[in-house]
Chains A and B, each alone.
Chain A
Amino acid sequence: EAQVTQNPRYLITVTGKKLTVTCSQNMNHEYMSWYRQDPGLGLRQIYYSMNVEVTDKGDVPEGYKVSRKEKRNFPLILESPSPNQTSLYFCASHMGRAWRDNEQFFGPGTRLTVL
């Protein structure tokens, strides 16, 4: 089954404790992205990757890191989480740059609470 998986689905942590949210897709997609969703603000892009070892900042990259060492995986790293990073996070992927390849596939979401 074609899918994007994220882990963990729920996480409660404390300020400053490094964490990683994993994302994996099995569709051989070139593009992967991380978004956060906050009430009243909608979905905002954190980072995206156009291929292995190619990543770039989105609209709200501060406090986050990513890596793309393999095509299928795109982990999101919070080196020193803070309460303002409490949010619902989504990983997504799509095939490529041409518009016909833009159909988005979303992971199930990770609800993160930073105390």
Chain B
Amino acid sequence: KNEVEQSPQNLTAQEGEFITINCSYSVGISALHWLQQHPGGGIVSLFMLSSGKKKHGRLIATINIQEKHSSLHITASHPRDSAVYICAVSTNYGGSQGNLIFGKGTKLSVKP
């Protein structure tokens, strides 16, 4: 079983729809990251959170530490949101503290 699981793997939405991507993890973490990878390949960090909720523009990230679960929401989706969204966790144990474990990503396609 993977330590970081994302769902869905693929998601197609119409422009304007509300989108949710889920991430569950099974290891001890110090932080959870949401990353975005556009078709060109580059990866950017969207959020890093250890508790609660963060908002940036139309993007909202939440985390429930007790349930080991995080969600990434996109409101009023737009074709430019089309990308792969990757959940990753920073481990909080052992010598590798601070290293990332990645989910396999969710490929989002927003149609006009």
Which of B53-61, B64-72, B74-82, B91-99 participates in binding chain A?
A: B91-99
Query: If the complex has contacts A99-B31, A109-B42, are A94 and B86 also in contact, measured as CB distance less than 8 A?
Result: no
Q: 4 closest Cβ contacts across the A-B interface?
A: A99-B30, A42-B104, A106-B43, A99-B31
Chain B residues whose C-beta falls within 8 Å of the C-beta of A98 in the assembled complex: 30, 98
- Which chain B residues have a beta carbon within 8 Å of chain A's beta carbons? 30-31, 33, 35, 41-45, 48, 50, 86, 88, 90, 92, 95-100, 102-105
**A103 contacts the other chain (Cβ, under 8 Å)?**
yes
**Min CB distance, A60 to chain B, in Å?**
12
**Min CB distance, B90 to chain A, in Å?**
5
**A108 contacts the other chain (Cβ, under 8 Å)?**
yes
Q: A15-32: contact bitstring with B at CB < 8 Å (1 yes, 0 no)? A: 000000000000000010
| Residues of A within 8 A of B (CB-CB), count | 28
**A77 contacts the other chain (Cβ, under 8 Å)?**
no
**Interchain CB contact (< 8 A) of B104 among A31, A40, A58, A102:** A40
Whether the Cβ atoms of A104 and B35 lie closer than 8 Å is: yes
Whether the Cβ atoms of A43 and B102 lie closer than 8 Å is: yes
Give Cα distance in the complex from A42 to B44, angstroms.
15
**Interchain CB contact (< 8 A) of B98 among A40, A94, A105, A109:** A94
CB proximity to B under 8 Å, residues A30-57: 31, 33, 40-45, 48, 56
Chain A residues whose C-beta falls within 8 Å of the C-beta of B35 in the assembled complex: 104, 106
Whether the Cβ atoms of A97 and B97 lie closer than 8 Å is: yes
Chain A residues whose C-beta falls within 8 Å of the C-beta of B95 in the assembled complex: 56
**Interchain CB contact (< 8 A) of B90 among A56, A92, A99:** A99
**A61 contacts the other chain (Cβ, under 8 Å)?**
no
Whether the Cβ atoms of A109 and B96 lie closer than 8 Å is: no
Whether the Cβ atoms of A58 and B99 lie closer than 8 Å is: yes
